[in-house]
Every structure is written in structure tokens, then in C-alpha cells.
Amino acid sequence: MSFHVGEALVGEGNEVAHIDLLIGDKSGPVGVAFASALATQSHGHSNLLAVLEPNLVVKPATVMITKVTIKGAKQAVQMFGPAQRAVADAVADCVKSGAIPKDQADKLCIVCGVFIHWEAADDQKIYQYNYEATKLSIERAMKDEPSATEMLAKKDTSSHPFFKKS
């Protein structure tokens, strides 16, 4: 498989974290998406690298893309602060745990879509929820979860938190 796909929703309220991500080889389609995301910036959509601190980028290299338009300095600081550190910590911890094989950390890259609600207020919750969602997304992606069998088994009993079927 040329890449893996992960997704997770964690938390509640305005600090809820929803992560969508791709993990793949730098020379494949995820590598192309990674380079494109980092090189293509637009008003309200500042894509950034996940770093543990300035000058300490995580491996696999991870670009964070905004899933909503950043509408002000507060929201931008939340993206470039607690969300950025959360994603970086989750990537590093997945390498540490073996969810991402350490010997592949320089070969792979990650494109990580991050949602920061414009009314989010609690930076600690932003960090915690984004950390948990990113880690879960990576773990699921690397195991190709859910399987088609699991998805079909749960389809008719599943519920979406932001939409109720009538």
C-alpha cells in the first residue's frame, strides 16, 4: 500500500479535536501532498511543521494543515502552540512505542489535518484532545483500521455526533 489513512475525534465542547491524516513514503503521493501543503499557503490557512520546539522537527516529518479558516491571532496561536505541540508529541510517542517503526521515520511523512474551533478557549484541553486524536489516528492508520468488515458490521448501528438520522 502506498499510504495509510487515519482519523479520530476526541474531546468535547469547543476544544474538540478532529484529526484526519495520511502517512506514506516521501517519494509517493503523501510526499507530494506534504510538499504541496508546505509550499502552498493561503490567507487563513497557514500550514506548518509539527515541532517539539523550534529547530526540533519530529520524524516522520509532519505537516499540519488547517481544516478551518484561522480567523484571528488567538486561534493562530492555538494552532502554533498547543495543537502543534500535541501533534508533535503524538508523532514522537508513536515512534517511541513502535506504532511507527523507528527505521522508517526518515522515509515516511505525515499530512495531518487539524481542527481548531474559533471559540476554543482552554489550551490544555486543545493540547490533550489533539494529542489523543493524533496518536489514535496514527495507530489506526498503521494497522489499516477499521477493517472493511468492522466498518460494515457497525454501519447500521453507528451514530454521528454532529448529525442525527431521522
Instruction: Select which of 4, 18, 43, 117 is catalytic.
Output: 18
Beta strands in 15-136 (DSSP E): 17-25, 48-49, 51-53, 56-57, 61-66, 108-114
18 classed as catalytic: yes
**The Cα angle at residue 56 between residues 49 and 34, in degrees rounded to 5:** 25
Cell of 81: 502552540
CA atoms within 13 A on the CB side of 6: 28
Furthest C-alpha separation in the chain: 51
**The Cα angle at residue 72 between residues 66 and 76, in degrees rounded to 5:** 45
Would you name the residues annotated as active-site residues?
18
